[in-house]
C-alpha cells in the first residue's frame, strides 16, 4: 500500500522559531509537493520538487524554503515562523510515468505559531 508520512500531526511553535516539517514517501516517486490548506482557500502549492536537489516555487513560496537531499524525503522549512503561517500543511508525491498522474497525500501537519 502506498504511503506518505509526515513527521508530526500537530506542532506548536513560537514566532521567530525555525521550523522543519518532514515528509517521507515509500513509492519511489520523483515528484513531491508541499501545500498549505486554509478554510475557504483550498490547497495552495508552496513548493514542489521533481528530482533530488531540484525544487521549484509554487504559488505562495514567500517565507518558506525546501530541501530534497534524498528521493524519498522532502522537507519544508519556515526560516522564521510567523503567526500568519499557522495552517495545515500537506505533503504529496506522484510519479510522472503517466501523463496525468495521481498525487498521494500524507495525513497533514497542523501548525500553530504563537
Partner 1 sequence: GNSVTQMEGPVTLSEEAFLTINCTYTATGYPSLFWYVQYPGEGLQLLLKATKADDKGSNKGFEATYRKETTSFHLEKGSVQVSDSAVYFCALSDGTSYGKLTFGQGTILTVHP
Nearer to partner 1, 69 or 99 (CB): 99
Assigned C-alpha cell, 63: 517565507
Query: Judged by CB under 8 A, which of 14, 16, 41, 80 binds partner 1?
Result: 41
User: Locate cell 510515468: which residue?
Assistant: 97
Beta-bridge partner residues of 64: 78
96 near partner 1, judged by CB under 8 A: yes
Residue 105 burial class via C-beta count within 10 angstroms: exposed 0-12, middle 13-18, buried 19 and up: middle
Which among 28, 71, 27, 64 is positioned nearest to 49, based on CA atoms? 71
Query: Judged by CB under 8 A, which of 27, 45, 60, 77 binds partner 1?
Result: 45
Q: N- to C-terminal Cα distance for the chain?
A: 37
Query: Judged by CB under 8 A, which of 19, 21, 24, 33 binds partner 1?
Result: 33
24 near partner 1, judged by CB under 8 A: no
State the residues that interact with partner 1 by CB under 8 A. Answer: 4, 31, 33, 35, 40-45, 48, 50, 56, 58, 90, 92, 94, 96, 99-103, 105-108
Amino acid at each position: 500500500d502506498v504511503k506518505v508520512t509526515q513527521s508530526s500531526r500537530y506542532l506548536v511553535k513560537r514566532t521567530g522559531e525555525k521550523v522543519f516539517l518532514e515528509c517521507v514517501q515509500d513509492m519511489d516517486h520523483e515528484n513531491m509537493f508541499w501545500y498549505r490548506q486554509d478554510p475557504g482557500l483550498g490547497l495552495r502549492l508552496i513548493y514542489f520538487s521533481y528530482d533530488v536537489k531540484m525544487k521549484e516555487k509554487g504559488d505562495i513560496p514567500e517565507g518558506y524554503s525546501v530541501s530534497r537531499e534524498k528521493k524519498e524525503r522532502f522537507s519544508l522549512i519556515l526560516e522564521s515562523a510567523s503567526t500568519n503561517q499557522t495552517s495545515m500543511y500537506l505533503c504529496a508525491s506522484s510519479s510522472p510515468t503517466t501523463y496525468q498522474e495521481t498525487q498521494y497525500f500524507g495525513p497533514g501537519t497542523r501548525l500553530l505559531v504563537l
